[in-house]
Amino acid sequence: GAVVSQHPSWVICKSGTSVKIECRSLDFQATTMFWYRQFPKQSLMLMATSNEGSKATYEQGVEKDKFLINHASLTLSTLTVTSAHPEDSSFYICSAREGGTGGEETQYFGPGTRLLVL
Protein backbone atom coordinates (compact mmCIF):
# COMPACT_ATOMS: atom_id res chain seq x y z
CA GLY A 1 0.00 0.00 0.00
CA ALA A 2 0.87 3.66 -0.22
CA VAL A 3 3.21 5.11 2.39
CA VAL A 4 2.80 8.35 4.27
CA SER A 5 5.54 9.64 6.53
CA GLN A 6 5.52 12.25 9.26
CA HIS A 7 8.36 14.19 10.79
CA PRO A 8 9.16 14.53 13.57
CA SER A 9 7.66 11.51 15.29
CA TRP A 10 7.71 13.32 18.59
CA VAL A 11 8.59 16.77 19.82
CA ILE A 12 8.87 18.50 23.17
CA CYS A 13 8.84 22.27 23.21
CA LYS A 14 8.48 25.18 25.57
CA SER A 15 5.24 27.11 25.82
CA GLY A 16 5.14 29.99 23.36
CA THR A 17 7.29 28.40 20.67
CA SER A 18 6.10 27.25 17.25
CA VAL A 19 6.35 23.69 16.01
CA LYS A 20 6.24 22.51 12.41
CA ILE A 21 5.13 18.99 11.47
CA GLU A 22 5.71 17.60 7.99
CA CYS A 23 3.56 15.06 6.20
CA ARG A 24 4.83 13.39 3.03
CA SER A 25 3.31 10.92 0.60
CA LEU A 26 6.30 8.83 -0.39
CA ASP A 27 5.13 6.88 -3.42
CA PHE A 28 2.09 8.69 -4.71
CA GLN A 29 0.82 12.17 -5.36
CA ALA A 30 -1.78 13.47 -2.96
CA THR A 31 -3.81 16.45 -4.04
CA THR A 32 -5.56 16.31 -0.69
CA MET A 33 -4.15 15.69 2.74
CA PHE A 34 -5.94 15.73 6.05
CA TRP A 35 -4.76 16.71 9.51
CA TYR A 36 -6.23 15.04 12.55
CA ARG A 37 -5.77 15.39 16.26
CA GLN A 38 -6.22 12.53 18.65
CA PHE A 39 -6.53 12.71 22.42
CA PRO A 40 -5.65 9.70 24.59
CA LYS A 41 -8.08 6.81 24.18
CA GLN A 42 -10.24 8.77 21.76
CA SER A 43 -10.92 8.66 18.06
CA LEU A 44 -9.51 10.96 15.42
CA MET A 45 -10.77 14.51 15.20
CA LEU A 46 -10.43 16.16 11.80
CA MET A 47 -8.78 19.55 12.07
CA ALA A 48 -8.44 20.62 8.46
CA THR A 49 -8.34 19.53 4.86
CA SER A 50 -5.25 20.56 2.97
CA ASN A 51 -5.42 21.03 -0.78
CA GLU A 52 -2.34 21.46 -2.91
CA GLY A 53 -1.97 25.01 -4.14
CA SER A 54 -4.90 26.44 -2.24
CA LYS A 55 -5.91 27.44 1.25
CA ALA A 56 -6.76 24.76 3.74
CA THR A 57 -10.33 24.21 4.87
CA TYR A 58 -10.61 24.21 8.65
CA GLU A 59 -13.20 22.41 10.72
CA GLN A 60 -15.44 24.35 13.05
CA GLY A 61 -13.68 25.28 16.24
CA VAL A 62 -10.16 24.96 14.83
CA GLU A 63 -8.26 28.24 14.78
CA LYS A 64 -6.62 28.73 11.40
CA ASP A 65 -4.18 31.29 12.80
CA LYS A 66 -3.16 28.84 15.48
CA PHE A 67 -2.72 25.85 13.21
CA LEU A 68 -1.11 27.00 9.97
CA ILE A 69 -1.30 24.55 7.09
CA ASN A 70 0.71 24.72 3.90
CA HIS A 71 0.40 22.25 1.04
CA ALA A 72 3.12 23.43 -1.29
CA SER A 73 3.49 20.31 -3.41
CA LEU A 74 1.66 17.13 -4.29
CA THR A 75 3.73 15.18 -1.79
CA LEU A 76 4.16 17.55 1.15
CA SER A 77 1.87 19.27 3.61
CA THR A 78 2.99 21.00 6.78
CA LEU A 79 1.15 21.86 9.99
CA THR A 80 2.62 24.59 12.16
CA VAL A 81 1.35 24.95 15.69
CA THR A 82 2.02 28.59 16.48
CA SER A 83 2.70 29.85 20.00
CA ALA A 84 2.10 26.40 21.40
CA HIS A 85 0.58 25.99 24.85
CA PRO A 86 0.27 22.92 27.07
CA GLU A 87 -3.33 22.37 25.93
CA ASP A 88 -2.00 21.88 22.39
CA SER A 89 -0.21 18.75 23.56
CA SER A 90 -1.67 15.89 21.58
CA PHE A 91 -1.08 13.25 18.93
CA TYR A 92 -1.26 14.80 15.48
CA ILE A 93 -1.87 12.51 12.51
CA CYS A 94 -1.92 13.34 8.83
CA SER A 95 -3.39 11.33 6.00
CA ALA A 96 -3.26 11.48 2.25
CA ARG A 97 -6.00 10.43 -0.11
CA GLU A 98 -5.17 8.30 -3.12
CA GLY A 99 -7.81 7.99 -5.78
CA GLY A 100 -8.89 4.50 -6.66
CA THR A 101 -11.13 2.72 -9.12
CA GLY A 102 -14.68 1.55 -8.62
CA GLY A 103 -15.56 4.39 -6.28
CA GLU A 104 -13.03 3.53 -3.60
CA GLU A 105 -11.33 6.44 -1.92
CA THR A 106 -8.36 5.15 -0.05
CA GLN A 107 -6.90 7.25 2.72
CA TYR A 108 -3.48 6.38 4.09
CA PHE A 109 -2.31 7.61 7.45
CA GLY A 110 1.05 8.75 8.66
CA PRO A 111 2.54 7.32 11.86
CA GLY A 112 1.64 10.41 13.86
CA THR A 113 3.55 13.09 15.73
CA ARG A 114 3.33 13.32 19.47
CA LEU A 115 3.62 16.91 20.70
CA LEU A 116 4.28 17.78 24.31
CA VAL A 117 4.28 21.44 25.25
CA LEU A 118 5.83 22.21 28.60
Partner 1 sequence: TQLLEQSPQFLSIQEGENLTVYCNSSSVFSSLQWYRQEPGEGPVLLVTVVTGGEVKKLKRLTFQFGDARKDSSLHITAAQPGDTGLYLCAGDRTGGFKTIFGAGTRLFVKA
Residues 7-46 interacting with partner 1 (rule: CB under 8 A): 34, 41-44, 46
Question: Which of 83-99 are b and which e, b meaning 16 or more Cβ less than 10 Å from the residue's Cβ?
Answer: ebeeebbbbbbbbbbbe
Is 67 a binder of partner 1 (CB under 8 A)? no
In the list 24, 25, 50, 110, the residue contacting partner 1 (rule: CB under 8 A) is 110
Q: Which of 14-22, 62-70, 74-82, 106-114 is the region at the interface with partner 1 (rule: CB under 8 A)?
A: 106-114
CB of 56 to partner 1, least distance (A): 13
Question: Toward partner 1, which CB reaches closer, 69 or 83?
Answer: 69
Q: Which residues lie closer than 8 Å to 20 by C-beta, 6 or more apart?
A: 78, 79, 80, 81
DSSP conformational letter for 26: S
DSSP conformational letter for 66: T
Is 109 a binder of partner 1 (CB under 8 A)? yes
Count of residues near partner 1 by CB under 8 A: 25
Separation of alpha carbons 116 and 19, rounded Å: 10
Q: Determine contact, residues 69/50, Cβ cutoff 8 Å.
A: yes
Please give the residue ranges that form the binding site for partner 1 (CB under 8 A): 1, 4, 6, 34, 41-44, 46, 49, 91, 93, 95, 102-112, 114
